[in-house]
Structure 1
Amino acid sequence: MVVQHNMQAMNANRMLNVTTGQQAKSTEKLSSGYRINRAADDAAGLTISEKMRKQIRGLDQASTNAQDGVSSVQTAEGALTEVHSMLQRMNELAVQAANGTNAESDRQAIQDEIDQLTTEIDRVAETTKFNEIYLLKGDKGTKTINLEAHDAGLKGTLTNNGDGTATFTMDAIKTGDKVAIGGKTYTIGSTVDEAKALIKAPATGTVDVQIGDKTFKIDNTGKVMDADGNQLYVETKDGQTAAATFSATSNLTTTQKFNNDQGVATDNRAVSVDNLKSYVKGGVTVKVGTESATAMTDVAGAADGVDDNDVTLITKQKAYELAGKELLAANSIGDTEGHASVKNGDDTDLAFDKGDGSFKINVAQAKVANTLSFNLHVGSDADLTNKIQVNIDTMNSDFLGIKGLNVKDENGSAATYAVDAIADAVAKVSSQRSALGAVQNRLEHTIDNLDNVVENTTAAESRIRDTDMAEEMVNYSKNNILAQAGQSMLAQANQSTQGVLSLLQ
Structure 2
Amino acid sequence: MFIRNDYLNLQLLQQQRLSLKNMNQATERISSNSRINQYSDDIGALSVTSQLNSLLRSNAQGISNTQDAVNLLNVMDSGASTIKDMVQHLRDLIIQNQDGSLSQADKSALQLEFKQTISNIEDIAKTTKYANKTVLNNSSIQLNGSNMYVDLGSSYKNVATGNHTLETTFTVDKLPVGERAFVYGFEGKHHAIEVNPDGSLMFQTWLVDGSGTANSYTIETKAGFVKENETYKAIGVVDTDNQMLRFYVNGEEIGNLNIPADQSLFDYSTSYWGNLRLGIGNNPGGQYDYPFSGTVSSGKLYSNAFTSREISATFNGRDTNNGLVSEWAASNGIYNTAGTIMNGATLVNDKINIRSGASLADKTQIELTNLSAKGLNLYSLSIDDANALQTVDSALNTVLSAKSNIGAQINAMTYRQQQLYSSFTSSSQAVDNMFSIDTAQESSIISKEQLRLQTTLTMLQNYNDHKLKAVKLLNQ
TM-score by length of 2: 0.55
CA distance in 1, matches of 2:68, 2:439: 38
Other-structure match for 1:482 = 452
Q: 1:455 aligns with which of 425, 447, 466?
A: 425
Deviations 1:387-424 (A, max 9, x none): 111111221111101112112xxxxxx35521111111
Runs of 4+ deviating beyond 3 Å: 1-7, 142-145, 334-339, 367-370
After TM superposition, give the deviation of residue 480 of structure 1 in Å: 2.0
Mapping 1:51-450, distance limit 5 Å: 51-138=51-138, 143=141, 371-383=349-361, 386-407=362-383, 414-450=384-420
Kindly name which structure, 1 or 2, has the bigger radius of gyration based on alpha carbons: 1
After TM superposition, give the deviation of residue 2 of structure 1 in Å: 10
CA distance in 2, matches of 1:379, 1:338: 39
Deviations 1:100-124 (A, max 9, x none): 3333222211110011111111111
Assess if the C-alpha contact under 8 Å between 1:66 and 1:446 holds in 2: yes
- Describe the SS at the equivalent of 1:374: strand
Instruction: Indicate yes or no: 2:464 matched with 1:503.
Output: no
What is the one-letter code of the residue matched to 1:381?
S
After TM superposition, give the deviation of residue 368 of structure 1 in Å: 10
Other-structure match for 1:306 = none
Other-structure match for 2:192 = none
CA distance in 2, matches of 1:494, 1:133: 84
- Describe the SS at the equivalent of 1:397: coil
Instruction: Indicate yes or no: 2:435 matched with 1:465.
Output: yes
After TM superposition, give the deviation of residue 490 of structure 1 in Å: 2.0
What is the one-letter code of the residue matched to 2:117?
L
Other-structure match for 1:26 = 26
- Describe the SS at the equivalent of 2:366: strand
After TM superposition, give the deviation of residue 132 of structure 1 in Å: 1.7
Assess if the C-alpha contact under 8 Å between 1:377 and 1:388 holds in 2: yes
- Describe the SS at the equivalent of 2:364: strand
Assess if the C-alpha contact under 8 Å between 1:122 and 1:396 holds in 2: yes
CA distance in 2, matches of 1:404, 1:52: 58
CA distance in 2, matches of 1:103, 1:15: 110
Aligned length in residues = 281
CA distance in 2, matches of 1:471, 1:483: 18
Other-structure match for 1:344 = none
CA distance in 1, matches of 2:11, 2:333: 100
Assess if the C-alpha contact under 8 Å between 1:94 and 1:416 holds in 2: no
What is the one-letter code of the residue matched to 2:358?
S
CA distance in 1, matches of 2:81, 2:421: 30
CA distance in 1, matches of 2:86, 2:336: 26
After TM superposition, give the deviation of residue 28 of structure 1 in Å: 1.4
After TM superposition, give the deviation of residue 450 of structure 1 in Å: 1.7
CA distance in 2, matches of 1:144, 1:4: 93
When residues 368 and 88 of structure 1 are mapped into structure 2, their CA distance, relative to the original with a 3 A threshold, is farther
Mapping 1:36-55, distance limit 5 Å: 36-55=36-55
* Structure 1 residues not aligned, in runs of 5+: 146-333, 340-366, 408-413
What is the one-letter code of the residue matched to 2:133?
I
CA distance in 2, matches of 1:338, 1:54: 49
CA distance in 1, matches of 2:415, 2:22: 48
- Describe the SS at the equivalent of 1:426: helix
After TM superposition, give the deviation of residue 6 of structure 1 in Å: 4.0
What is the one-letter code of the residue matched to 1:489?
M
Other-structure match for 2:202 = none
Assess if the C-alpha contact under 8 Å between 2:34 and 2:437 holds in 1: yes
- Describe the SS at the equivalent of 1:502: helix
Assess if the C-alpha contact under 8 Å between 1:91 and 1:419 holds in 2: yes
- Describe the SS at the equivalent of 2:387: helix
After TM superposition, give the deviation of residue 137 of structure 1 in Å: 2.5
Assess if the C-alpha contact under 8 Å between 1:46 and 1:465 holds in 2: no
When residues 336 and 8 of structure 1 are mapped into structure 2, their CA distance, relative to the original with a 3 A threshold, is closer
After TM superposition, give the deviation of residue 27 of structure 1 in Å: 1.4
CA distance in 1, matches of 2:128, 2:346: 17
After TM superposition, give the deviation of residue 440 of structure 1 in Å: 0.5
After TM superposition, give the deviation of residue 4 of structure 1 in Å: 8.3
When residues 446 and 23 of structure 1 are mapped into structure 2, their CA distance, relative to the original with a 3 A threshold, is same
Give the structure with the higher percent strand: 2
CA distance in 1, matches of 2:80, 2:109: 26
Assess if the C-alpha contact under 8 Å between 2:335 and 2:374 holds in 1: no
Other-structure match for 2:258 = none
RMSD: 2.9
Deviations 1:483-505 (A, max 9, x none): 22222222222222111212211
Deviations 1:441-463 (A, max 9, x none): 11222222221222222222222
What is the one-letter code of the residue matched to 1:469?
T
What is the one-letter code of the residue matched to 1:12?
L
When residues 457 and 444 of structure 1 are mapped into structure 2, their CA distance, relative to the original with a 3 A threshold, is same
When residues 61 and 5 of structure 1 are mapped into structure 2, their CA distance, relative to the original with a 3 A threshold, is same
After TM superposition, give the deviation of residue 57 of structure 1 in Å: 2.2
Deviates more, 1:101-110 or 1:68-77: 101-110
CA distance in 1, matches of 2:83, 2:358: 37
Assess if the C-alpha contact under 8 Å between 1:6 and 1:497 holds in 2: no
When residues 338 and 441 of structure 1 are mapped into structure 2, their CA distance, relative to the original with a 3 A threshold, is closer
- Describe the SS at the equivalent of 2:375: helix
CA distance in 2, matches of 1:485, 1:338: 94
TM-score by length of 1: 0.52
What is the one-letter code of the residue matched to 2:12?
A
- Describe the SS at the equivalent of 2:374: helix
What is the one-letter code of the residue matched to 1:83?
I
After TM superposition, give the deviation of residue 338 of structure 1 in Å: 9.8
Other-structure match for 1:296 = none
After TM superposition, give the deviation of residue 336 of structure 1 in Å: 5.0
Assess if the C-alpha contact under 8 Å between 1:126 and 1:134 holds in 2: yes
After TM superposition, give the deviation of residue 337 of structure 1 in Å: 5.2
CA distance in 2, matches of 1:125, 1:15: 79
CA distance in 2, matches of 1:75, 1:335: 23
After TM superposition, give the deviation of residue 475 of structure 1 in Å: 1.8
Assess if the C-alpha contact under 8 Å between 2:382 and 2:388 holds in 1: yes
CA distance in 2, matches of 1:480, 1:80: 73
CA distance in 2, matches of 1:403, 1:111: 14
